[in-house]
Amino acid sequence: MSLLEMTVGELLEEKAKAHPDHEAFVYPELGLRKTYREFDEWTDAAAKGFMSLGIQKGEPSSGTRIFVKAI
């Protein structure tokens, strides 16, 4: 599958399977450091939270402000 045919979620899932223990991102100002596995789990949890608010998969979000607090 080419990159243009993948969603961001699919790309992250692929990277998490290929390199689960590699760092996906580091945000030192907030003390955040996540591996691809952790980041994939974190974004899956966020997606489930959005769905519990009634936001459906594939629903456009332009013009919608969503605030996420990093824990």
What confidence tens digit (pLDDT) does each residue in 25-43 have? 899 998 989 999 999 999 8
DSSP result, 3-62 = GGG--HHHHHHHHHHH-TTSEEEEEGGGTEEEEHHHHHHHHHHHHHHHHHTTPPTT---T
Q: Give the predicted TM-score (pTM) of the model.
A: 0.70
**Band of residue 71 on the pLDDT scale cut at 50, 70, 90:** very low
